[in-house]
Amino acid sequence: MSPSTTPLPAAVISGSAANHLTGPLARDLGLDVTETRIDRFPDGELDVAVDPSIRDLDVYVVQSLGPPVSDHLVELLLLLDACRRAGAARLTAVVPYLAYSRKDRRASPGEAVSLRVVADVLQSSGADRAVLVDPHVPQVDSIFSIPLEVASAVPLLAKSVASDLVGSVAVVAPDLGAVHLAERYAAELGLDAVAVIRKTRLSGSEVEVTGLVGSGRVDTALIVDDIISTGSTLEAATEELRSRWHDPKVVITATHGLFTADAVERLGRLDPDSLSVTDSVEQGGRPAECQIVGIHSLLGDVIRRLSGLSRPG
């Protein structure tokens, strides 16, 4: 017998770090954002409640884990727990930017594996599955026990930079971890040349370039990354390319623009020809010239596929 295809009624809930995305996303899905109460006790503890009307619904809790990442993570966990206790029939954590992903294994003895811890607590707080956008580790599926839907902003970002690319172009991975991403941009844009920068991280906000492989001099360097945090990776990469390739046009794009520490000043000084990120993280301070590419319709497509919701007429 084939399973029933009648979709469960759906509800969308927003964490406080995702209001900028959840409003347009809910409109895209033809839903209202379900009310929540997110208060704080004087000691900083969060006190979270959801509208009990979500009982028996297919619930999507949207929360992005930009800074302060731990606060936003705990808020997401409490929202999931509140939904589970209120009787949600199915619970999906929609996490456009997943913090704590950069430690997916022990790089040296004694380290914690933060991605594994986050995967486990999302599940133990009630998430039946999760939606992620361009997670730092491509093999993230093997770390989560719950099913994942991984969406990518690469096609949207590639489209947004296409008109900035002039003459001969190389897609540049600013470190070894970004090679797979660079290949995806190259495929999306129909480009052959991919170059890779060898980077050593000296501290949380300083990196050093130790080499460049994979392409001769070009007119435009398209530097791609998943995250911009302090901007140190992009600064080192851009300086290296400007010196090796005699001042090429520099186009920078990344999915998650955190812009922490002095990233705004650093990128301002760097003055790339173009800089773009998505709105996976709410933008407070960002470089003035930075273009923001919206991802609510990308998330809407994923949720429609998961929920069986149809496009509002």
- Report if residue 228 touches ligand R5P, rule: CB under 6 A: yes
- Residue 106: CB minimum distance to ligand R5P, A: 16
- Report if residue 232 touches ligand R5P, rule: CB under 6 A: yes
Residue of 103, 159, 199, 249 marked catalytic: 199
Which residues, listed in sequence order, are joined to residue 194 by a DSSP beta bridge? 171
- Report if residue 268 touches ligand R5P, rule: CB under 6 A: no
Nearest to 132 by CA among 2, 298, 260, 259: 298
# binding residues, ligand R5P (CB under 6 A):
15
Residue 249 annotated to the active site: no
Q: Which is nearer to ligand R5P, 15 or 174 (CB)?
A: 174
- Report if residue 230 touches ligand R5P, rule: CB under 6 A: yes
Among residues 229, 238, 274, 280, which is the contact residue for ligand R5P, using CB under 6 A? 229
- Report if residue 58 touches ligand R5P, rule: CB under 6 A: no
- Residue 227: CB minimum distance to ligand R5P, A: 4
User: Residue 68 corresponds to which tokens in the numbers above?
Assistant: 């302060």
Q: Which is nearer to ligand R5P, 210 or 297 (CB)?
A: 210
User: Residue 98 corresponds to which tokens in the numbers above?
Assistant: 């997943």
Q: Which is nearer to ligand R5P, 170 or 228 (CB)?
A: 228
Q: Which is nearer to ligand R5P, 226 or 240 (CB)?
A: 226
- Report if residue 226 touches ligand R5P, rule: CB under 6 A: yes
Q: How far is CA 214 from CA 10, 17, 168, 170, 175, in A?
A: 48, 39, 14, 9, 12
- Report if residue 175 touches ligand R5P, rule: CB under 6 A: yes
Q: Which is nearer to ligand R5P, 52 or 204 (CB)?
A: 204
- Report if residue 134 touches ligand R5P, rule: CB under 6 A: no
Site residues, ligand R5P (CB under 6 A):
102, 174-175, 177-178, 207, 225-233
Indicate which residues carry an active-site annotation.
199
